[in-house]
Structure 1
Amino acid sequence: MVVGTAAIAAFLPPPPARGQTLGAAASPNLDRRQRGPAAPSGTGRMEPVIWWVRKSFQSVQVVSSAALEQRLAQNRDQMLLLDTRSAAEYEVSHLEGAVRIDPETTDMEHVVKELGLTDCAGGRDVVCYCTVGYRSSGVAQKLGEFLASEAGQGLCGPPKVYNLEGGLVKWANERKAIVDSQNQPTSLVHPYSAVWAPLLEPEFRARI
Structure 2
Amino acid sequence: MKGWIKRFAGVGWALLLPACGTNAQSGENPAYDRLLGTLYRGTVPVIRPAALARQLHEQPGTVLLLDTRTPAEYAVSHLREARFVDFDHYKQATFADLPRTQEIVVYCSVGARSEQVGERLRALGFKQVYNLYGGIFQWVNQGLPVYNAQGITENVHPYSALWSPWLSRGNKVYE
- Interval containing the TM-score (normalised by the shorter chain): 0.7 to 0.9
- The TM-score with structure 1 as length reference comes to 0.71
Deviations 1:120-161 (A, max 9, x none): xxx4200000000000000001111120xxxxxxxxxx5400
CA contact (8 A) 1:172 1:204 kept: no
Q: 1:114 aligns with which of 80, 97, 104?
A: 97
1:172 alignment counterpart: 140
Question: 1:70-129 CA deviation, whole Å, 9 max, x = no partner?
Answer: 110011211000000000000000001000112242235x21x123x15xxxx4200000
* Residue 142 (structure 1) aligned to one of 120, 129, 136: 120
CA contact 1:9–1:196 (8 Å) conserved in 2: no
Which stretches in structure 2 are left out of the alignment for 5+ residues? none
| Cα deviation, residue 9, structure 1 | 3.6
Structure label with greater radius of gyration = 1
Distance 1:3 1:96, change over 3 A: farther
| Count of residue pairs the alignment pairs up | 166
Please give the TM-score of this superposition, normalised by the length of structure 2: 0.83
Q: Which residue of 1 aligns with 2:15?
A: 12
SS in 2 for 1:106: helix
Kindly indicate whether residue 73 of structure 2 is the aligned counterpart of residue 73 of structure 1: no
Task: Identify if the C-alpha distance between structure 1 residues 97 and 139 changes in structure 2 by more than 3 Å, giving closer, same or farther.
Answer: same
Call closer, same or farther: CA 1:4–1:188 in 2, change over 3 Å. Answer: farther
* Percent identity of equivalent pairs: 33
Secondary structure of the 1:12 match is: helix
